[in-house]
Structure 1
Amino acid sequence: MLGLEYFSFSDLWSPWFLMLMIVITSAYFVVIGPLRTRFAEEGTTRLGQKICFVTGMVLFYLAQGGPISFLSHLMFTFHMLAMALSYIIVPPLIILGIPTWLWRSVFRYRPLHKLKFLMHPIFTAVLFNALFSLYHVPAVHDYVMLHFVVHRIYYVVLLITSMMMWWPILSPIPGGKLQDVSKMAYIFVNSVLITPACALIIFAGEPMYATYNDPNVWAQAMGYCFSGDPKVLLDLFDGPTFFNILDPMQDQQVGGIMMKFIQELVNGSALAYIFYHWVRRESRDDDMDELPIMGSENWNKA
């Protein structure tokens, strides 16, 4: 239905990127397995952490090298799905998947320790959301999509800053994580900061991105993920609308809604988890505060 039968296996599955993901995942298991004894503070890695890391790598591959990545050049909806997977869902999975002892070993390196000031929560929240919003300004988005090197650099920067954005919530290192109430406020701020970009996309009066509406611009952008001559695409198809099951305006709106929905779903789940454990800790602390008084009264009665 989406016309993917016109493209090769290499176009759809990016074998070289797949190999890179396999190498990184294999390196992860070597480090937490045979090589863990080389670390000053070795430890175990739970099954849940391994599942989180592998799941994150699989989703990142699908979003940036697999069929979702290819479809993101054909439909804006899939572009926003790839963005949500890559920068909202994958980063927390990777952070949670790396064991604490390995994070501590990484941050022992003095150059990284000196960059600790970059992990301030306000800075990380503003930086990621500003870069994400800037990327979806039509002129910036089309420029990035048409320049391969800029495209790759921008996506790497977004991945790094998204990891930074999630770090104050999930940091396994003592002192690097916010307290529960601050975490909830931080999550709320992140939800607010990304809203203007999504609103601009959803409520725009017309399709904004030439990459998905102008056949010539689309063909040029497709040249980076299509193994053949992109000019052939113009001879075979009428631009991206040939593949689009929605009209360009609907495609743009659905993409904006999808991004906001996924972000709110992930943030809402994190917020509910943090709130639940915060309430439990507060209740437990209250019970502990009452124990000495109750014990003292019972002792006096005795």
Structure 2
Amino acid sequence: MTAPTALLAESADLLASPWRFQAHPEVWLLVAFVVASWWYAIRYIGPHTPEVRAGAPIVTTSQKRLFVLAVLMLWLASDWPIHDISEEYLYAVHMFQHMALSYFLPPLVLLATPVWLFRAIIGSQRAGRVISWLARPVIAGVIFNVMVMVTHIPALVNRSVSNAPLHYSLHVGLVLSSLLMWIPIAAPDPAMRVGYGGRMVYLFLMSVIPTVPAAWLTFAEGAVYKHYDIA
């Protein structure tokens, strides 16, 4: 093999490698939008809310720190290299990405959200009642665990990794269902949280259903997801 041919072959391998750098401007725009929206709400909306006028702080130092952690977690889970390796090469990284979007990001978001902002996001009384109903422990737990099971269906996984809109939709659904699941634990509004004992039982039950696909994947013979059979 001549030197130019070898160089071309090496370049082709590099371009095909899931480890190569890939820019995701859509992720950068999403992160920038989240940061700008949060800053706007803190700067212009918070001071005029009833809670703040009654003496509540617009935002605490701990909430600022948690918001930074939430933004970093969103960026880490959505951008290169985790996104590209999880989509093109390793299912283990794909599952780490899902764990970050399900178990790390949602509680950080909720704990970083001032109660006045949480109530403003919920909106009208009707929307608030709907979200309160969906966030009941049993309802939220069922929604979350159904989403977990759906995201492990082999045909759906194999299709989603090569279909960007489907993959994005699944991630949005996963984050939204996870936010509902975490509201009884970490809601900014104390009225929507369950007691400490209930939280312990609730979190334990939330760990039971995911063991079903985990056990299935652990004891499966051969590759369950054909897309990742190359690893």
Counterparts of 1:172-191 in structure 2, within 5 Å, are 172-191=188-207
Residues 19, 85 of structure 2: 8 Å contact kept? no
Residues 145, 151 of structure 1: 8 Å contact kept? yes
Name the counterpart of 1:106.
Answer: 121
Residues 76, 82 of structure 2: 8 Å contact kept? yes
Per the normalisation by structure 1, the TM-score is 0.65
**What letter is aligned with 1:195?**
T
**Residues 81, 191 of structure 1: CA spacing in aligned structure 2 closer, same or farther, 3 A cutoff?**
same
What's the offset of the Cα at 1:49? Answer: 0.9
Match of 2:30 among 20, 40, 55: 20
- 2:93 is equivalent to residue 78 of structure 1: yes
Name the counterpart of 1:290.
Answer: none
Residues 87, 159 of structure 1: 8 Å contact kept? yes
**Residues 175, 44 of structure 1: CA spacing in aligned structure 2 closer, same or farther, 3 A cutoff?**
same
In 2, the alpha carbon distance for the partners of 1:19 and 1:108 equals 25
Name the counterpart of 1:91.
Answer: 106
Unaligned runs of 5+ in 1: 214-239, 242-302
What's the offset of the Cα at 1:176? Answer: 0.7
- 2:211 is equivalent to residue 195 of structure 1: yes
Match of 2:148 among 119, 126, 132: 132
Residues 133, 139 of structure 2: 8 Å contact kept? no
In 1, the alpha carbon distance for the partners of 2:29 and 2:123 equals 30
Q: Which has the larger radius of gyration?
A: 1
What's the offset of the Cα at 1:103? Answer: 1.3
1:206-264 superposed Cα distances (whole Å, 9 cap, x missing partner): 11101112xxxxxxxxxxxxxxxxxxxxxxxxxx43xxxxxxxxxxxxxxxxxxxxxxx
**Residues 4, 181 of structure 1: CA spacing in aligned structure 2 closer, same or farther, 3 A cutoff?**
farther
**What letter is aligned with 2:74?**
F
In 2, the alpha carbon distance for the partners of 1:4 and 1:103 equals 48
In 2, the alpha carbon distance for the partners of 1:65 and 1:45 equals 28
Secondary structure of the equivalent of 1:193?
coil
1:73-92 superposed Cα distances (whole Å, 9 cap, x missing partner): 21112111111111110100
Residues 21, 57 of structure 1: 8 Å contact kept? yes
Match of 2:181 among 159, 165, 168: 165
Cα RMSD (Å) of the superposition? Answer: 2.4
Secondary structure of the equivalent of 2:192?
coil
Name the counterpart of 2:48.
Answer: 38
In 1, the alpha carbon distance for the partners of 2:123 and 2:28 equals 31
In 1, the alpha carbon distance for the partners of 2:191 and 2:108 equals 21
In 1, the alpha carbon distance for the partners of 2:81 and 2:60 equals 31
What's the offset of the Cα at 1:11? Answer: 5.5
**What letter is aligned with 2:138?**
I
In 2, the alpha carbon distance for the partners of 1:63 and 1:4 equals 25
Counterparts of 1:211-290 in structure 2, within 5 Å, are 211-213=227-229, 240-241=230-231
**What letter is aligned with 1:138?**
P
Unaligned runs of 5+ in 2: 1-11
In 1, the alpha carbon distance for the partners of 2:42 and 2:23 equals 28
**Residues 101, 120 of structure 1: CA spacing in aligned structure 2 closer, same or farther, 3 A cutoff?**
same
**What letter is aligned with 1:69?**
H
- 2:65 is equivalent to residue 51 of structure 1: yes
Residues 73, 100 of structure 2: 8 Å contact kept? yes
Name the counterpart of 1:62.
Answer: 76
